[in-house]
């Protein structure tokens, strides 16, 4: 209808002028809304790379979700092309030819400033794979429209808009903006080892402090650089290598990456102890932190898991085999202050204590598709009474193991409610050297419980007793407490 004119009442010259003008309008409409803007984007299996973002900008592709209603028609493309593509192929050349013939200008879409482009890129990344397709019930398209059209005086102003106005309303502390300085530090930390450099740290175990929303120290390696520098448990990191930590915008993994570096190099940090800030410089050294330790006390076997890496399950299995030779009648696995690590290690460690065919965890993506993990064979110890010690710093892979053993009624969970990190993220670089971390999936326990922000309830709680209980040595008079709380005579020491 927009390209049709009425007959009669006008001269031939007027008709021609009107036709040319309307043809020019058709060209502008088609240019402003390319044919593939009417199509839903496919379900993405991974985050778009920076190269794909560049391609999207070049083609002017609009990012429209399949799972949410769009103001434009949601049509499915076919092998022969959608109606919009066919119409574009037929009408656009003719309209362009007519417009060019009479000298009508062809107006391209408005150029975005570099700051606006970064904002648009961040929105596109989150839109493609964010696990919550309601976007926390925000008007997600309106957020893009408002932020992309805004004029920014600096990159910092655009970065603040992304962090505060785009990502914060999602209500997910793990979906966050990473400024260029922090992103570069994270990238260097990851690539140093691959470049042949020996990467070291300062000998600390880290977790997020729920109260301050900063990263704190939950364990200090004996004889390590941190202990020599006087760092203690519950010390908060406020700045590392001149990268400031914003409450609720930093993770233990990020601080760990900033602390690590070439052996013998120095790392400067600002920390807070008891409310007082201080700056100190620590020399990185190779610290041998064993992820798994264990032993036997009486007839009780104990296993302390400090972190989950690619060797953890293998080390747990070795300790179980060693204890079996000693004829233990009960086992305690200590997951306190274990912030997690390698996802698969949590699954494999739980498998050691489960029979074949037991569900361990499900990973659910944005489309609701679930990838379940279940045991394929009987574990080496499916009968010995098992107790897990957990606390508020037990998180991520530790919670995967805890949930698997608790829901399958294989273990009694003792202590206090766990941290509640049941999501997985990935990080994508943006065009200006910054990055955005996005939650792409969530974990569900075998009972289909979403533990994120909730944690796992214990079967027996005693916070005061937890503070007195130490593994692996049980040398502080806590044996009686453990015996009372984790099974009485069945787990006597």
Q: Which amino acids are annotated catalytic?
A: 396, 407, 421
Classified as helix, coil or strand, 280 is: strand
Under 8 Å CB-to-CB from 342, ≥6 apart: which residues? Answer: 308, 309, 310, 312, 397
- Separation between Cα atoms, residue 345 and residue 343, nearest integer Å: 5
| Strand 423-429, strand 435-444: pairing | antiparallel
Under 8 Å CB-to-CB from 400, ≥6 apart: which residues? Answer: 343, 346, 347, 350, 360, 361, 443
Helix, strand, coil percentages (3-state) for the chain, rounded to 5, are 35, 20, 45
Cβ neighbours around 101 below 10 Å, total: 10
Q: In angstroms, what CA-CA distances link 251 with 174, 210, 333, 369, 421?
A: 8, 11, 25, 27, 11
- Separation between Cα atoms, residue 347 and residue 344, nearest integer Å: 5
First to last CA, the chain: 87
Could you give the residue ranges of the DSSP H alpha helices within 178-303? 180-192, 225-228, 252-259
The single residue listed with the structure tokens 């999602």 is 170
469 class by beta-carbon count within 10 Å (0-12 exposed, 13-18 middle, 19+ buried) = buried
The answer to whether the beta carbons of residues 434 and 156 sit under 8 Å apart is no
Chain-centre distance for alpha carbon 135: 15
User: What is the H or E stretch that residue 439 is in?
Assistant: strand 435-444
DSSP result, 378-409: --S-SSS-EEEEE-TT--THHHHHHHHHHHTT
Paired strand residues for 490: none
Instruction: Give the number of residues written for the chain.
Output: 493
> Hey, what are 43's tokens?
């379900």
Residues 350, 352, 356, 360, Cα dihedral to 10° = 10
Q: Kindly tell me the sign of the dihedral angle through the C-alpha atoms of 144, 147, 149, 154.
A: negative
The answer to whether the beta carbons of residues 95 and 31 sit under 8 Å apart is no
């Amino acid at each position: 209808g927009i390209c049709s004119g009425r007959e009669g009442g006008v001269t031939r010259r007027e008709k021609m002028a009107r036709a040319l003008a309307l043809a020019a309008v058709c060209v502008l409409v088609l240019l402003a809304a390319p044919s593939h803007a009417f199509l839903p984007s496919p379900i993405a299996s991974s985050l778009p790379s920076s190269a794909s973002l560049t391609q999207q900008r070049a083609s002017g592709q609009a990012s429209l979700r399949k799972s949410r209603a769009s103001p434009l028609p949601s049509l499915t493309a076919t092998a022969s092309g959608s109606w919009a593509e066919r119409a574009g192929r037929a009408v656009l050349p003719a309209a362009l030819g007519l417009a060019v013939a009479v000298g009508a200008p062809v107006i391209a879409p408005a150029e975005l400033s570099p700051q606006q482009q970064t904002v648009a890129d961040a929105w596109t990344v989150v839109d493609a794979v964010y696990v919550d397709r309601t976007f926390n019930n925000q008007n997600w398209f309106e957020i893009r429209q408002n932020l992309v059209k805004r004029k920014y005086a600096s990159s910092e102003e655009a970065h603040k808009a992304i962090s505060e106005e785009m990502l914060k309303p999602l209500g997910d502390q793990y979906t966050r903006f990473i400024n260029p300085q922090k992103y570069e530090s994270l990238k260097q930390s990851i690539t140093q080892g691959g470049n042949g450099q020996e990467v070291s740290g300062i000998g600390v175990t880290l977790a997020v402090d729920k109260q301050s929303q900063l990263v704190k120290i939950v364990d200090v390696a004996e004889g390590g650089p941190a202990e020599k520098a006087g760092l203690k448990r519950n010390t908060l990191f406020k700045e590392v290598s001149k990268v400031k930590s914003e409450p609720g915008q930093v993770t233990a993994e990020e601080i760990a990456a900033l602390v690590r570096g070439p052996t013998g190099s120095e790392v400067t940090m600002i920390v807070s102890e008891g409310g007082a800030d201080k700056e100190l410089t620590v020399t990185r050294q190779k610290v041998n932190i064993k992820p798994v330790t264990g032993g036997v006390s009486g007839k009780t076997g104990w296993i302390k898991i400090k972190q989950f890496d690619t060797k953890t399950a293998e080390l747990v299995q070795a300790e179980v085999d060693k204890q079996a030779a000693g004829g233990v009648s009960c086992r305690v696995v200590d997951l306190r202050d274990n912030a997690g690590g390698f996802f698969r290690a949590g699954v494999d460690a739980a498998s050691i204590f489960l029979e074949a065919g037991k569900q361990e965890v499900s990973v659910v993506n944005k489309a609701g598709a679930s990838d379940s993990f279940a045991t394929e064979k009987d574990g080496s110890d499916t009968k010995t009474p098992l107790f897990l010690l957990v606390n508020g710093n037990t998180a991520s892979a530790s919670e995967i193991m805890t949930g698997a053993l608790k829901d399958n009624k294989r273990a009694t969970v003792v202590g206090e409610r766990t941290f509640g990190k049941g999501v997985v993220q990935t990080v994508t670089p943006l065009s200006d050297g910054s990055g955005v971390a996005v939650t792409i999936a969530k974990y569900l326990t075998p009972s289909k419980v979403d533990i994120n922000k909730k944690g796992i309830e214990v079967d027996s709680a005693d916070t005061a007793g937890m503070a007195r209980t130490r593994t692996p040595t049980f040398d502080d008079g806590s044996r009686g407490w453990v015996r009372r709380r984790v099974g009485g005579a069945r787990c006597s020491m």
